[in-house]
Amino acid sequence: MRLTDPLTNLVARWLMAEKPREHPAPCDFERICHEIRPCDVLLIEGRSRVSEVIGLITQSHWSHSVLYIGRIHDIENEAVRKRIERLYQGDPQDPLIIEALLGEGVILTSLAKYHDEHIRICRPRALTYIDSQRVINHAIDELGKGYNLRQLLDLARLLFPWAILPRRWRSVLFQHNVQMPTKTVCSTVISEAFGSVSFPILPVVKLDSDSGIRLFRRDPRLAVPADFDYSPYFDIIKYPLVPIDESGFYRSLPWSEPSEPADEEEGATGDDEAITDTETPSDTETDTDPDIPTEKKTASGVDE
């Protein structure tokens, strides 16, 4: 174990290393912090290597999910609130989230960590206040558990036609594993927390000729970040970097005007102006004298 731990930590750091962001995130982080509510699920478009792996597995840009639990004073249960005060050494007014990270496990941290990231809010529809506190308390109980990399690999293997694979290559996700209760992944933590109050994310729906529609709970270990985006039971809330609160907002967007001739050749800004020019000369205005060169003008008034 001592020999493998340094190697494991090295691999974890390599997988979690983030690439620099080339462009600003298209969301308003300050607005998100102002409008977010406890028990909202935040989807993160990650920039690490493990995010790329999750994106390939799930076919989605959303590679990470976190649960927003509010500020310390938002937690109703006194015992839970005191536990958070012991675990978090930052400002009591910081907005806090719970997440599971490779190499760190299930941790408590500030939402400010994702200030520069692309974030989407998934809000559980019609979730009662009491149940929201239960979801948060359940997630807090998961703090300290390890990150289950094996589970992530199992999810990847579920994409293959397992029926034609040798048995030894098949997923062991549903087999008994004594280490499973002490390890988890980001979406599993949140899925289990909502499952504690029977709130659906993506239940299995089947039609029964006798009883009609029947819902079956999915194994929370199958949950991925994109499920919260796809789920009909979560409202999707976006706060773009450029606000859209007023009618006709698109007319006042800060579009950049082309400043070089090369831009006009590529973007056809000049062509757009040519189409709208109404002073096109008629054919009868051309000089009929054969000794005088005939001049033709385009719609923009440029001699040819």
The pLDDT value given to residue 156: 54
pTM confidence score: 0.68
pLDDT in tens, 59-110: 788 888 999 999 999 998 899 999 999 999 889 999 999 998 877 788 999 9
Domain-wise residue ranges, the chain = 4-249, 252-285
Contact of 50 with 17, CB cutoff 8 Å: no
Q: Mean pLDDT over residues 135-147, rounded?
A: 88
**Is the pLDDT at 128 greater than 60, yes or no?**
yes
Question: What's the mean pLDDT in 244-268?
Answer: 62
Nearest Cα to Cα of residue 19 among 77, 63, 70, 57: 63
Pairing of β 204-208 and β 212-216:
antiparallel
Q: Please give the average per-residue pLDDT across 132-160, as a whole number.
A: 74
Among the ranges 155-169, 216-230, 240-254, which has the highest mean pLDDT value? Answer: 216-230
CA atoms of 131 and 124, how far apart (whole Å): 11
Least confident of 33-47, 123-137, 255-269: 255-269
Closest alpha carbon to 197 in 124, 135, 140:
135
Give yes or no for residue 176 having a pLDDT over 90: no
SS3 248: coil
Output the pLDDT for position 297. Answer: 47
Calculate what percentage of the chain has a pLDDT beyond 70: 66
- Residue 168's pLDDT is 57
Structure confidence at residue 33 as a pLDDT band (50, 70, 90): very high
Alpha carbon distance 24, 20 (integer Å): 11
Distance between CA 25 and CA 45 in Å, rounded? 10
Of 145-154, 218-227, 249-258, give the lowest mean pLDDT range.
145-154
d(CA 278, CA 275): 8
Cβ within 8 Å of residue 115, ≥6 positions away:
29
Neighbours of 35 (CB within 10 A): 13
Model pLDDT, residue 223: 84
194 or 18, higher pLDDT:
194
Second-level CATH architecture of 4-249: Alpha-Beta Complex (3.90)
What does the pLDDT look like over 234-251, one tens digit per residue? 999 998 887 766 666 667
Q: With cut-offs at 50, 70 and 90, classify the pLDDT of residue 24.
A: confident
Q: What angle do CA 108, 111, 117 make, to 5 degrees?
A: 125
Give the angle 114-224-240 at the CA atoms, nearest 5°. Answer: 40
For range 250-261, the mean pLDDT:
69
Could you give the dihedral angle defined by the CA atoms of residues 83, 88, 91 and 92, in that order, rounded to the nearest 10 degrees?
Answer: -20
Residues 86-106: b if buried by 16+ CB within 10 A, e if exposed? eeeeeeeeebbbbbbbbbebb
End-to-end CA distance of the chain: 80
Task: Output the pLDDT for position 235.
Answer: 96
Instruction: Please tell me the chain's helix, strand, coil percentages from 3-state DSSP, rounded to the nearest 5.
Output: 40, 15, 45
